[in-house]
A and B are shown apart, each in its own frame.
Chain A
């Protein structure tokens, strides 16, 4: 009996369910085409929902704000770390770029010098070491006997004389600077009226101010005179710039004078040098005719040209 009732109940439920479902299905189409409006208006439901939505929205905004803040802080933290790494990388890059720029400038200057100093065969070299001795001034360069370097080869930069190669190993050499008290460079005053000769050697009292000795008293040498190599002695070719006279003093013996020299080369910034592997007599400069006064021009044979020549 009860089983029959249960079956009837179940069948009724199923039919009810199907009917409701079909009913709703029809409602969807009727409502979609505007033939049916809900009894409970949207306004009622919206009004009932509004306080909850407002409260939860407010809470959501707060939570979202807090989460956003935390997220932003985390993002800023990671961004900060990334930026720090980037700054370090960029600094290194910048340093490297500045180094390249500096090297480029030096090499350009050296190249210009090499192109202008046609009487010399020059070999570029890098300074790879510098002796930190109080009494001597010696540098190491990255060229040696395997590059054809031998002792007594002069070393220069585009600005002037640096020193001379004193010791040679297969892949490196030692250069004695003109600042070294042991060095002796035959020099003379470049000024045509003077041409006073002397010897430049390192100054034990002032390591950056070499002195020119053996200058006869009352010689024509004044502050600012340019000092170049004289070519005497055979080590240094003639005409290499050494520096300019900073001060002239009488020697303690009273017969000679001493001139202190501002070197042309800045030895504090010595990075690239050139070794003179061979030198020859410089070719004479081509003669250029002097500028002629307009109206009095003459040709190469001295004959007047222009209106006066007709």
Chain B
């Protein structure tokens, strides 16, 4: 229970920071997706099962909190957490390059998944323009925030390791 509350508090704080503080430095309305970064880090630290589970919860929370299409973040983060979890036993979790590279790949993959879902939902837009105007800043922000978020997640992961 303590563990759950600690993670819940952590998610609330991170999301609040993302929506209330980081929004001050948004570039054309684009800012970092810190919950996606958390998902990747959790996947690396906890494995694919928990990575997918945490990713699903983070995404669901984000869907509800942000009022976007329900399930869209839950879906992308579920996959991101699962895929990152697959590599949990094969990479060095303390590496600086790991969360940065994961942030880059997760961001691109999530963005493309978002775009495909939106197309399937019947929305029409210029994909190339979106790549330039939205994906570029998003990747930059996520790459910058990847390492601090990974450190924070690892710190919480270590702190809550002994909790029940």
A45 near B70 with CB under 8 A, answer no
Q: Which stretch of B29-37, B75-83, B127-135, B143-151 is in the interface? A: B75-83
CB distance from B31 to the nearest CB of A (A): 12
Q: Which residues of A contact B (CB under 8 A)?
A: 13, 17, 20-21, 24-25, 27-29, 31-32, 36, 38, 40, 42, 45-46, 48-49, 52-57, 59-60, 63-64
Return the chain B residue nearest A20 by Cβ.
Answer: B78
Bound-complex Cα distance A28 to B76 (A): 11
A31:B65 contact, CB within 8 angstroms: no
Given contacts A17-B52, A40-B64, A56-B16, contact A24 B21 (CB under 8 A): no
Interface size of B by CB at 8 A reads 31
B121 and A29 contact, CB distance less than 8 A:
yes
Interchain CB contact under 8 A, B74 and A24: yes
Provide the residues of chain A in CB contact with B120, threshold 8 Å.
Answer: 29
| Contact, CB under 8 Å: B71 / A24 | yes
Chain A residues with CB under 8 Å of B17's CB are 56
A13 and B71 in contact, given A45-B65, A49-B65, A52-B16 (Cβ under 8 angstroms): no
For B1-40 the 0/1 string (1 means CB < 8 A from A) is: 0000000000011011101110110000000000000000
| Known interface pairs A20-B78, A24-B71, A42-B64; A49-B12 also in contact (CB < 8 Å) | yes
Q: How far is the CA of A52 from the CA of B24 in the complex (A)?
A: 16
**List of A residues within 8 angstroms of B125 by Cβ:** none
The reply to whether A60 and B121 contact each other, CB–CB distance below 8 Å, is: no
Given contacts A13-B49, A24-B78, contact A42 B67 (CB under 8 A): yes
- A28: which of B23, B61, B71, B79 is its contact (CB, 8 Å)? B71
Residues of B within 8 A of A29 (CB): 120-121
